[in-house]
């Protein structure tokens, strides 16, 4: 299997993506103010000049969300805002429920505890014990099913429907960051919550002109939120490139065909946060025109990203990044070092003049695997 596959998006259209993203138009300062009210602090933007030099690009910037709210990931930005909006509309809610591969579930459990509500979390088979443990430590009940992520979403949805039917009122709320026909309000609010992160990046990069943004995608909600902001608010928006694991590259395959597809694979990936079979409907409507290209990578490249950040070149800072968090950088490394993707690199103008932004979405959410990976020798042949 190749380390990296790349495709150009033939349907990129700035006018269409701006039109399709009007659903996210709102006061960014209002959302940021809400997040500050629950303890949010701006996360750092890090410069990696030595790594940039080794990759043959001009500048490399990394937004580090590995310690957002002290939760090891950025996810609480979306969950907290959506859940607060639900409580405003339905104060009788006593339970929040979700399906998760880890970070989103921890965020829902954390916010539920803040709101004095219960949390029920469904997780797919193969979930590592540490991700279960940290969610339970937030006071949630966790159920690991013997099926994948998409089926966990279906089970969570059925649980909420049954509980609400039995109670006779809206006492239980499903907090999922993927949308489908008939379920769009909460995923949309989650996407709005994510905007605080890009608002921070905008303030932190005022003196920079970002040429390329590598952005990882699971169900695509976060990626679509980021792209919406930069396409509408930045005077010179970057070219945006999505990143997914080979075994769960539903967005990659959808971009390739021009139609929203699901991908079912029995091959595992350590990039648990990106291990999703289908793109959110709301996200697809934005991503199908907002991406310049799409990348599908092997776990070896996300591992390489983790190692490079944990063992930096002299002069660069150390960054702790988990498997999904390092995938954007891993894709950049794979692309810069590939001799077979020269045409793609030329199309996206990845060269010695490029300023590239990547976002570390999580810290070491699997501590055992993290220690194993970062202790290995960096592969300079990639």
Active site residues: 75, 101
Question: Residue 107 in contact with residue 131, Cβ under 8 Å?
Answer: no
Residue 277 to residue 12: CA distance in whole angstroms: 23
Residue 146: other Cβ atoms inside 10 A: 8
Give strand pairing partners of 40.
none
**204-210 contacts at long range (C-beta below 8 A, 24 or more positions apart):** 204/42, 204/45, 204/63, 205/45, 205/61, 205/357, 208/59, 208/61, 208/355, 209/236, 209/355, 210/61, 210/234, 210/238, 210/355, 210/356, 210/357
**Which residues neighbour 354 within 8 Å (Cβ) at sequence distance 6 or greater?**
57, 58, 59, 211, 212
Q: Pairing between strand 355-360 and 59-64?
A: parallel
Q: What are phi and psi of 4, to 5 degrees?
A: -150, 140
């Amino acid at each position: 299997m190749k380390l990296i596959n790349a495709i150009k998006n033939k349907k990129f259209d700035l006018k269409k993506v701006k039109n399709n993203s009007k659903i996210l138009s709102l006061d960014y300062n209002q959302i940021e103010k809400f997040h500050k009210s629950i303890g949010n602090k701006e996360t750092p933007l890090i410069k990696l000049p030595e790594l940039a030099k080794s990759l043959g690009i001009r500048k490399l910037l990394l937004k580090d969300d590995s310690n957002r709210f002290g939760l090891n990931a950025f996810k609480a930005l979306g969950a907290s805002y959506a859940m607060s909006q639900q409580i405003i509309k339905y104060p009788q809610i006593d339970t929040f429920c979700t399906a998760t591969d880890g970070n989103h579930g921890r965020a829902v459990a954390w916010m539920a505890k803040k709101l004095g509500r219960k949390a029920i979390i469904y997780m797919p088979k193969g979930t590592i014990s540490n991700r279960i443990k940290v969610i339970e430590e937030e006071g949630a009940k966790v159920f690991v099913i013997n099926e994948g992520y998409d089926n966990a979403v279906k089970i969570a949805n059925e649980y909420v429907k049954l509980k609400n039917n039995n109670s006779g009122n809206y006492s239980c709320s499903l907090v999922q960051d993927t949308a489908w026909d008939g379920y769009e309000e909460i995923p949309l609010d989650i996407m709005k919550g994510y905007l605080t992160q890009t608002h921070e990046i905008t303030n932190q990069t005022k003196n920079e002109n970002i040429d390329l943004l590598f952005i990882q995608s699971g169900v695509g909600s976060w990626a679509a939120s980021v792209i919406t902001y930069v396409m509408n608010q930045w005077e010179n928006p970057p070219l945006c490139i999505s990143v997914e694991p080979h075994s769960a590259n539903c967005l990659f395959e959808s971009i390739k065909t021009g139609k929203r597809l699901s991908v079912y694979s029995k091959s595992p990936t350590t990039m648990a946060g990106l291990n999703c079979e289908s793109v959110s409907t709301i996200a697809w409507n934005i991503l199908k025109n907002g991406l310049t290209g799409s990348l599908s990578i092997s776990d070896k490249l996300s591992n390489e990203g983790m190692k490079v950040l944990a063992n930096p070149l002299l002069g660069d800072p150390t960054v702790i990044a988990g498997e999904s968090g390092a995938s954007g950088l891993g894709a950049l490394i794979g692309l810069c070092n590939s001799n077979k993707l020269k045409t793609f690199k030329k199309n996206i103008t990845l060269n010695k003049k490029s300023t590239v932004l990547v976002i570390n979405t999580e810290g070491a959410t699997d501590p055992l695997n993290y220690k194993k990976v970062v202790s290995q020798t960096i592969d300079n042949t990639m």
